[in-house]
Amino acid sequence: MVDTAIRLLQHGPHHGPHSGSMGAAGGGGWMGFGLPWGLLWVALSVALFAVAVYLLVTRIDGPVGAVPVDATGPADPMTTLERRYARGEIDDETFEERRIRLGERDRQ
């Protein structure tokens, strides 16, 4: 009895008779999890990496399909207003007020 307790303290409960690791799945599997679980972890790691790359690319280049801003000068205020309205950044009332103000400014 004392002999068994000493072995458990020295090697832990997850070791077989030859002191080899049996892993979390109860047998010596790939990465200690068994083949199906190891492949799942690899697939999840690849997916996480792909999502991180996608988020970095869209943050650097802007959203996919976004119209690039002309680098030669400022954008037309009416076009900017229409784009903000189309994206839902401003409501109907704000859009109409600013559209009227821009129209009055252009007449002066």
- The per-residue pLDDT for range 24-52, each reduced to its tens digit, is 445 555 555 567 878 888 999 999 999 99
Contact in structure between 34 and 27 (CB atoms under 8 Å) = yes
Q: Considering the entire predicted model, what is its pTM?
A: 0.33
Average pLDDT over all residues of the chain: 74
d(CA 13, CA 22): 10
Domain ranges, ordered by start, for the chain: 67-108
Q: What is the 3-state secondary structure (H, E, C) of 1-43?
A: CHHHHHHHHHHCCCECCCCCECCCCCCCCHHHCCHHHHHHHHH
In the block, residue with structure tokens 């959203």: 63
pLDDT value of residue 1: 63
- The per-residue pLDDT for range 51-102, each reduced to its tens digit, is 999 888 887 655 555 555 555 556 788 888 899 999 999 999 999 999 999 8
Helix or strand holding residue 4 (H, E): helix 2-11
Tokens of residue 28, six digits: 């010596």
> Looking at the predicted structure, is the pLDDT value of residue 22 above 60?
no
Mean pLDDT of the 102-108 span: 78
d(CA 59, CA 72): 22
